Chain A
Amino acid sequence: MAQVRLTGIAKAFGKVTALDAMDLVIDDGELVCLLGPSGSGKSTLLRVIGGFETPSEGTIAIDGVDVTHLPPERRPTAMVFQSHALWSHMTVHGNIAFGLKLRRLPRTEIRERVEKVLDLVGLAGYGARLPSQLSGGQQQRVALARSLVIEPKILLLDEPFASLDQHLRERLRDEVRDIQQRLGITAVFVTHGQDEALAISDRIVVLADGRMQQVGRPGEIYAEPKTAFVAGFIGAMNMLDGTLAEGEVVAGGLRLAAEGAGPARLAIRPEDIALTEPEDGRTVTVRRMIDFGSHVVIDSALADGTHLRIQTDKTIRVEAGERVGIHVEQWTVFRDGEAPSRYRSDTVRPFREVRRYA
């Protein structure tokens, strides 16, 4: 069992509050992503768990043992750093064996464990090479192997694939997920990439300005954001400032059913907007159509000029300047200090015959 429990964790650097009153329990074998923009406090939180920063307030317990004031070397954690942090004067074997040598294990055991972990990360036979003789992806695998070989209870990963290209990043994140599940190790993964977080994690912790915005499963965070920040940060979202009155929210010329009164923010996912015939009600003017191959995104303008992003079927073709009708299928209304209200339209309306490629 390897459970991490954070209770009232806060961290201040001088007058700047990096983390504020955080409570979180990470269960055994769980992979939790800390997701947020730069400066949100996600790396600081990871460093607090790893022992590289001491919290200003609160406690950290691993398996019920208070480790708040223990240095990194005395915690059952191991960190994989963004910059690989490999020691260039040591071979791959030397890098991976470093932690085992410090534990004074017999030489034969060190060799066996290094070979085993190299095999695990797909680098069998690379032990004699220097880090400079490896590619970026291979270097990050060595960094992962170096952390895994000491068999930590908690694996901490600080944006490990940030310096790698998109394809390699996707491949490695799948490999890391696979290794984490095979070993059943608890892992905390810091990223600012929402796709990465949605793809890899059991749960996501969304952070902003040193505060937890929402904790939940990836699908839940995407479908039911609790704050306007989470709604805007996770996935594509149309965020419109509007006003609630008389059972409606009015934003950017759009009128949708909603309860309450006063200022509000209307959030609509691009894929929750369907195209309809122009005479069928609300209309937008097409500004640009972006063909992503798997789907089409239409950048459009409402009557008052507000931009609206629409995601639709890959076979649909529209022209710039064309007026099309829209039908909003789901929307969320955010009001300060209140829980968000979610609405769904029951009406399904057909769009014209799709225009296909010639």
Chain B
Amino acid sequence: MIAALRSGAMGGRLSGLLLVALPVALLIWLVLWPVLQAMVGTVYFPGTGFSIASYTYFFTDAYSLRNLWLTLWVTALTSVLRVVVAMPIALYLRFRTGSIAALVQALALFPMFVPSVLVAYAFIRVLGPNGIVDTVLVALHLPKLMSPYLTPAGPIIGLVWDGLPLTLLLLLSGLGRVSIASVDAARDLGAGSWTLFTRIILPRIQSSIIVTLAFNVLGLFSAFTLPFLLGPASPEMMGPYMQRTFSDNADPLNATTQAVITFAFCAAFGLIYVRAIAKGRKGTA
């Protein structure tokens, strides 16, 4: 009997290992190995030995630092804007039901089904020079507005719209942990909307907000399509910068160095994400 139980447990453990084996192998092959290769390839050169010259160049080159700073700035601002825009929608969808809520949800999730290239060209047609907004303003004999196209505001607007669905879904999942009864209980004791949000809802979804921000940062830091099509030529975000260094400048060493630096930033945010998940699990346990 005990032997049969033991063999059953062994079988379960083996099938569990087999289930994780394939994704782990793919992770090693497609992610960890290229990362290791890139890291080693930027500091070790056969014949000449170790050198951190490409990193020294990046961190002393004013243009590279401006690009890194722009990327950090756009990433931070876009992440915050996504949460700020998605939060009221998520709160509405969590605590309201009915046909209007369903319509709001459908509209908010719609960008998920639109490719980034289409978003970029739609943006240009609407907000670009001589776009729909300009045309309407001219028709109303009003002065034209300065277009955000090819300015840092361009990719920010595009990226906020593009990433809204994922942000919304992550926040909604966090808000699912806030029961309606706990909100009703606070209202019953006299809490207004702001008090409810800051003292009851926000503390309960802290880890979800951190996860949402971390997810956003990971995607935004290495974003390419929208910054490439809507952003300024100089300074530029790390995604287009890496691509240009690699193909236009035919400089794989510096492009790889930029990729390793980008990876390091993303890994730092990944660590924050993992810690937030662990904290959230501890909170629910």
What 0/1 readout, one digit per residue, does chain B (173-196) give for beta carbons within 8 Å of chain A? 000000101101111111110010
Apart from A86-B182, A102-B191, what are 16 other A-B pairs with CB-CB below 8 Å?
A: A72-B184, A72-B187, A73-B188, A78-B189, A79-B185, A79-B188, A82-B181, A83-B179, A85-B182, A87-B186, A87-B200, A88-B283, A89-B203, A102-B189, A102-B195, A143-B185
Judged by a CB distance under 8 angstroms, whether B66 is at the interface is: no
Known: A71-B187, A102-B190, A102-B195. A85 touches B200 (CB 8 A): no
A150 to B191, CA, bound (A): 13
List B contacts of A79 (CB < 8 A).
184-185, 188
A77 interface contact, C-beta 8 A: yes
For B187, the closest partner residue in chain A by CB is A72
Any A CB within 8 A of the CB of B204: yes
Interface centre among B185, B187, B192, B204 (most CB of A within 10 A): B185
Q: What residues of A have a CB within 8 angstroms of the CB of B187 in the complex? A: 52, 71-73
Binding site for A on B (CB under 8 A): 179, 181-182, 184-192, 195, 199-200, 203-204, 283
CB of A225 within 8 Å of the partner chain: no
Q: How far apart are the CA atoms of A146 and B185 in the complex, in Å?
A: 9
- Determine the residue in chain A with the shortest Cβ distance to B185: A85
Shortest distance from the beta carbon of A178 to any chain B beta carbon, whole Å:
23
Shortest distance in angstroms between B78's beta carbon and chain A's nearest beta carbon? 29
Q: How far is the CA of A324 from the CA of B195 in the complex (A)?
A: 69
Q: Is the CB of A99 within 8 A of B189?
A: yes
- Cα of A147 to Cα of B191 in the assembled complex, Å: 13
Contact A83 B204, beta carbon cutoff 8 Å: no
Interface residues of chain A, those whose CB is within 8 Å of chain B, are 50, 52, 71-73, 77-79, 81-83, 85-89, 98-99, 102-103, 143, 146-147, 150
Q: List 5 A-B contacts (CB under 8 A).
A: A73-B190, A73-B192, A77-B188, A89-B204, A102-B195
Given contacts A89-B203, A89-B204, contact A72 B188 (CB under 8 A): yes
Chain B: CB-nearest residue to A158:
B181
Q: How far is the CA of A82 from the CA of B180 in the complex (A)?
A: 12
Question: Using Cβ atoms and an 8 Å threshold, which residues of chain A touch B182?
Answer: 85-87
Q: Which residues of A contact B203 (CB under 8 A)?
A: 87, 89
* Distance between Cα atoms of A81 and B192 in the complex (Å): 19
Which residues of the other chain, A, contact B190 by a CB distance below 8 angstroms? Answer: 73, 99, 102-103, 150
Closest-by-CB residue of A relative to B206 is: A89
Q: A124 to B87, alpha carbons, bound, how many Å?
A: 39
Find chain B residues with CB under 8 A from A87 CB: 182, 185-186, 200, 203-204
Cβ distance A101 to chain B, nearest Cβ, rounded Å = 9
**Closest Cβ of chain A: how far from B280's Cβ, in Å?**
12
Closest-CB distance, B70 to chain A (whole angstroms): 37
CB distance from B93 to the nearest CB of A (A): 19
Q: How far is the CB of A123 from the nearest CB of chain B, in Å?
A: 18
A72: chain B residues at CB < 8 Å are 184, 187-188
Nearest 7 CB-CB pairings of A with B: A99-B189, A85-B181, A85-B185, A73-B190, A89-B203, A102-B190, A81-B181
Partner of B189, one of A82, A83, A88, A98: A98
A199-B186 Cα distance, complex, nearest whole Å: 30
Closest to A73 in B: B190
A103 to B, closest residue via Cβ? B190
User: Nearest Cβ in chain B — how far from A141, in angstroms?
Assistant: 15
- How far, in Å, is B99 (CB) from chain A's closest CB? 10
Which residues of the partner chain A approach B191 to less than 8 Å between Cβ atoms? 73, 98, 102
In the assembled complex, which residues on chain B have CB atoms less than 8 Å from the CB atom of A50?
188
Residues of B close to A52: CB separation below 8 A: 184, 187-188
Question: Which residues of chain A are near B181, meaning CB under 8 Å?
Answer: 81-83, 85
Residue of A85, A89, A143, A146 near B179 (CB, 8 A) is: A85
- How far does the Cβ of A282 sit from chain B's closest Cβ, in whole Å? 52
Q: How far is the CA of A76 from the CA of B191 in the complex (A)?
A: 14
Which residues of B lie under 8 Å from residue A102 when comparing CB positions? Answer: 189-191, 195
CA distance in complex: A81, B260 (Å): 53
How many Å lie between the Cα of A235 and that of B179 in the bound state?
34
Chain A residues near B195: list those with CB within 8 A. 102
| A144, chain B: closest CB distance, angstroms | 12
Residues of B within 8 Å of A98, CB to CB, are 186, 189, 191, 199
Asked if B204 and A146 make an inter-chain contact with CB atoms under 8 angstroms apart, the answer reads no
Q: Which residue of A lies closest to B200 (CB)?
A: A87
Q: Which residue of A lies closest to B177 (CB)?
A: A88
Chain B residues near A71: list those with CB within 8 A. 187
Say how far B47's CB is from chain A's closest CB, in angstroms. 60
